Copies of this chain bind each other. A is one copy, B any other.
Amino acid sequence: MSPRTKEQNDAIREMRMNQIMQAAAEVYLEKGIQLEIRDVAVKAELGYGTVYHYYKNKHMLLEDLLWDALNRTESAVLPALTGDGGSLLKAESFSRLLLRKCIQDPSVFILLKTVADNFHHFPGNRFIKLFADFQERIYLPFVEMIREGIGFKSPEKTANLIFGSLVGCTALNIHHNMRNEMDVEGIVDMIFSGIQSKER
């Protein structure tokens, strides 16, 4: 009876939502929080009404973007979470995976930067749940590896130091259009040899 089947419509919906989120991520990288729905629509090559067909408003779109990025972040670091080896080695591997993903996937970069900045620029308290989920699924596992790896000293502070450095370096490079020159190994090596030499 239906001219398109429910499955066809669902496929279209999912495709469009991804298309829109990706466009939004690109626009966000250019204009920051001041992105306009109109820009997103242009980037996605859609009418702006279409964006509203899928997202009730700008905040819903950004929220969905970040949740989606959270899922992809988790997938990206999973090997380090489940892998074998010494804890500090796992933490280093985790950092490497995180950094690579973050460089390659704009949404993940936005997520990590946004979390590091505690949703600065993002108005309202819409993101408490997202932050809690990020902590539980990404950050606390990382803190645990650090804790096991470095002994008695404050693993939270060390994790913050590593995370802040990773995100800070990435932001500097990406915002200055040096994404392609980024030296993942160099950054992670620097940070972790810094951590280890302090351990001694």
Contacts and interface: CB of A to CB of B under 8 A. Distances in A.
Interface of A: 29, 31-34, 116-118, 120-121, 123, 157, 160-161, 163-173, 175-176, 178, 181, 183, 186-187, 189-198
User: Chain A's interface: helix, strand, loop or mixed, by majority?
Assistant: helix
A196 B198 CA distance: 12
Nearest to A2: B47
Contacts of A168: 116, 164-169, 171-172
B176 A171 contact: no
Nearest to A117: B175
A117 B14 CA distance: 32
Contact of A169 (B164, B171, B186, B196): B164
Contacts of A120: 29, 32, 175
Nearest to A1: B47
A164 B33 CA distance: 21
In the A-B complex, list the 4 residue pairs whose CB atoms are closest, starting with the nearest. A168-B168, A194-B194, A164-B169, A32-B121
B198 A193 contact: yes
Contacts of A157: 181, 183, 186
Contacts of A118: 172, 175-176
A196 B172 CA distance: 22
Contacts of A166: 168
Given A121-B33, A164-B173, A168-B165, A193 B187 contact: no
Nearest to A115: B172
B191 A193 contact: no
Contact of A190 (B29, B183, B195): B195
A33 B35 CA distance: 12
Contacts of A31: 121, 123
A117 to B, nearest CB: 5
Contacts of A181: 157
A151 B77 CA distance: 35
